[in-house]
């Protein structure tokens, strides 16, 4: 799936930058262009992968190039005075081959979370391509008043973006940060952004040919990703991998030109089944109740000889049973040089998300 990646605000721009870097390093490209939009010049200058001419400072009068420090009123004023220029900056990064626009944002921030809803609505009006949000849910401060404010900002942003964009893929910082550390620390959010970029890269690179034109036997094409996201609302990702032992045999018994030998069917079925269950049951980008899932997509990656079609189909059937959804799509992502089975699950149209319930409760206190 070919994307234009947009970063909004400090957190959103850092995530977008990491996605662009991951795309440049991968064998399957899914990014056609990118743009970073922020009120803080220092944060824009610190980016690595998004080109300089795609970094756009806005709200100069309101924020003076120094950001809004979480102040949503200042952020909203900056966004209101800059909507047209923000849309223009994004449109300059949307060539004809773009199939969707992915907007990255910190959901409790003062800049990105206030600018994205109105910009997304305008993008949806002028473009036929879907517009998706990748939103990061915040940690809450220890004090009740601060927690209520941050939680309220996040809940408000999610509700606005669920209406303004086609889906909101959520990532819960609190869930993914280790015990005793904070996602506000640079080394922590860098690690979390790396984790998120790895999962998103697998999702959006599925169906794209690699540099050697290796394409899946059962391709997950753009239409299937779009159809899965059409359930709307909240979405979450799950990922798991398992190292495998790839037996090889030498051609002609001469020890030359080693090639992969056939894998026992029970071995590969077990590997795909176990990894699929871990992807969904272990830890997703935000925890959800599986019974409240509208649609799903399962991508299974690994060496071609391990990607048994029946095993992949069985994994999809298992996910359908777990969610009760009749719309579970899937396919494979061959990696000839790899030594692991990986599974990426996308669940959309979520009606029951415990973390959002916690944030709503905190906002009301």
252 and 189 co-located in one domain: no
**Residue 44 near residue 13, CB atoms below 8 Å:** yes
DSSP character at residue 140: P
124 and 35 co-located in one domain: yes
Reported confidence tier of residue 217, pLDDT bands at 50, 70, 90: low
pLDDT at 248: 59
Within a domain: residue 228?
no
200 and 250 co-located in one domain: no
281 and 183 co-located in one domain: no
What average pLDDT does the chain have? Answer: 89
184 and 298 co-located in one domain: no
Domain at 26, CATH number: 3.40.50.1440
Handedness of CA 209, 218, 289, 157 (dihedral sign): positive
Average pLDDT score over residue span 352-363? 95
Average pLDDT score over residue span 317-340? 91
Within a domain: residue 193?
yes
How far apart are the C-alpha atoms of 326 and 330, rounded to whole Å? Answer: 13
Domain boundary among 205, 223, 258: 205
356 pLDDT exceeds 70?
A: yes
Q: What is the dihedral of CA 269, 228, 161, 59, to 10 degrees?
A: 80
pLDDT at 337: 82
271 and 338 co-located in one domain: yes
Within a domain: residue 216?
no
pLDDT at 335: 86
Within a domain: residue 364?
no
pLDDT above 70 coverage of the chain, percent: 92
Within a domain: residue 75?
yes
Encode pLDDT of 232-267 as tens digits: 999 999 999 999 886 655 444 444 434 445 667 888
199 and 330 co-located in one domain: no
Average pLDDT score over residue span 42-60? 96
Tell me if residue 20 falls in helix, strand or coil.
helix
How far apart are the C-alpha atoms of 117 and 102, rounded to whole Å? Answer: 13
Taking the whole predicted model, whether its pTM rises above 0.85 is answered as yes
Domain boundary among 158, 189, 205: 205
166 pLDDT exceeds 60?
A: yes
Q: What is the dihedral of CA 208, 211, 215, 219, to 10 degrees?
A: -10
193 and 320 co-located in one domain: no
DSSP character at residue 66: B
Angstrom distances, CA of residue 3 to CA of 16, 41, 61, 337, 353 = 11, 25, 32, 26, 27
Within a domain: residue 43?
yes
Q: Where are the beta strands (DSSP E) in 40-148?
A: 55-57, 100-106, 131-137
172 and 239 co-located in one domain: no
| Number of folded domains that form the chain | 2
pLDDT at 218: 65
185 and 245 co-located in one domain: no
Domain at 291, CATH number: 3.30.1330.20
Q: The domain containing residue 91 runs over which residues?
A: 3-205
Cβ neighbour number for residue 245 with a 10 Å cutoff: 7
The residues, ordered by sequence, that sit 6+ positions from 105 with a Cβ below 8 Å of its Cβ are 7, 8, 9, 11, 12, 112, 113, 116, 133, 134, 135, 136, 157, 161
pLDDT at 54: 98
DSSP character at residue 292: G
200 and 272 co-located in one domain: no
pLDDT at 251: 46
DSSP characters for 170-234? EEEHHHHSPTT--TTSHHHHHHHHHHHHHHHHHHHHTTS--TT----SS---HHHHHHHHTT-SE
67 pLDDT exceeds 90?
A: no
Buried b or exposed e, range 94-133, using 16+ CB within 10 angstroms: beeebbbbbbbbbbbbbbbbbbbbbbbbbbbeebebbbbb
**Residue 84 near residue 115, CB atoms below 8 Å:** no
Tell me if residue 338 falls in helix, strand or coil.
coil
Reported confidence tier of residue 277, pLDDT bands at 50, 70, 90: very high
Task: End-to-end CA distance of the chain: give it in Å, rounded.
Answer: 42
Within a domain: residue 110?
yes
Angstrom distances, CA of residue 177 to CA of 22, 191, 228 = 21, 9, 28
Closest among 54, 14, 233 to 132, alpha carbons compared? 233
How far apart are the C-alpha atoms of 134 and 105, rounded to whole Å? Answer: 6
**Parallel, antiparallel, or unpaired for β 131-137 and 167-172?**
parallel
pLDDT at 209: 60
DSSP character at residue 239: E
> In terms of DSSP H, where are the helices of 37-71?
41-45, 60-63
212 pLDDT exceeds 70?
A: no
Closest among 2, 40, 34, 8 to 21, alpha carbons compared? 34
188 and 241 co-located in one domain: no
Within a domain: residue 229?
no
Encode pLDDT of 74-114 as tens digits: 889 999 999 999 999 999 999 999 999 999 999 998 888 99
pLDDT at 263: 66
């Amino acid at each position: 799936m070919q994307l234009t990646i947009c970063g909004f605000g400090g957190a959103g721009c850092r995530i977008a930058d990491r996605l662009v870097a991951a795309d440049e390093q991968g064998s399957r490209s899914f990014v056609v262009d990118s743009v970073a939009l922020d009120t803080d010049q220092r944060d824009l200058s610190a980016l690595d992968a998004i080109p300089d001419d795609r970094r756009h400072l806005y709200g100069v009068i309101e924020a003076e190039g120094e950001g809004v420090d979480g102040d949503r009123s200042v952020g909203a004023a900056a966004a209101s005075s800059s909507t047209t220029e923000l849309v223009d900056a994004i449109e300059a990064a949307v060539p004809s081959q773009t199939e969707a626009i992915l907007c990255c944002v910190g959901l409790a921030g003062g800049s990105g979370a206030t600018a994205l809803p109105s910009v997304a609505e305008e993008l949806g009006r002028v473009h036929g391509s879907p517009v998706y949000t990748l939103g990061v849910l915040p940690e809450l401060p220890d004090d009740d008043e601060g927690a209520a404010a941050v939680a309220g900002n996040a809940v408000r942003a999610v509700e606005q973006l669920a209406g303004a964009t086609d889906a909101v893929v959520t990532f819960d910082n609190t869930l993914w940060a280790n015990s005793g550390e904070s996602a506000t620390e640079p080394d922590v959010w860098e690690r979390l952004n790396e984790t998120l970029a790895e999962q998103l890269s697998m999702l959006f690179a599925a169906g794209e040919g690699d540099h050697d034109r290796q394409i899946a036997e059962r391709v997950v094409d753009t239409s299937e990703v779009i159809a899965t996201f059409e359930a709307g609302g909240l979405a979450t990702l799950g990922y798991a991998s398992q190292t495998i032992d790839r037996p090889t045999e030498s051609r002609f018994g001469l020890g030359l030109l080693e090639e992969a030998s056939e894998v026992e069917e029970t071995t590969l079925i077990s590997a795909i089944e176990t990894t699929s269950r871990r992807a969904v049951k272990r830890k997703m980008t935000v925890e959800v109740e599986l019974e409240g899932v509208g649609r799903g997509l399962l991508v299974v990656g690994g060496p071609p000889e391990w990607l048994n079609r029946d095993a992949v189909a069985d994994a999809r059937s298992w996910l359908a049973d777990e969610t009760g959804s009749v719309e579970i799509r899937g396919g494979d992502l061959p990696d000839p040089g790899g030594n692991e089975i990986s599974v990426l699950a996308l669940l959309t149209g979520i009606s029951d998300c415990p973390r959002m319930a916690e944030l709503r409760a905190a906002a009301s206190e």
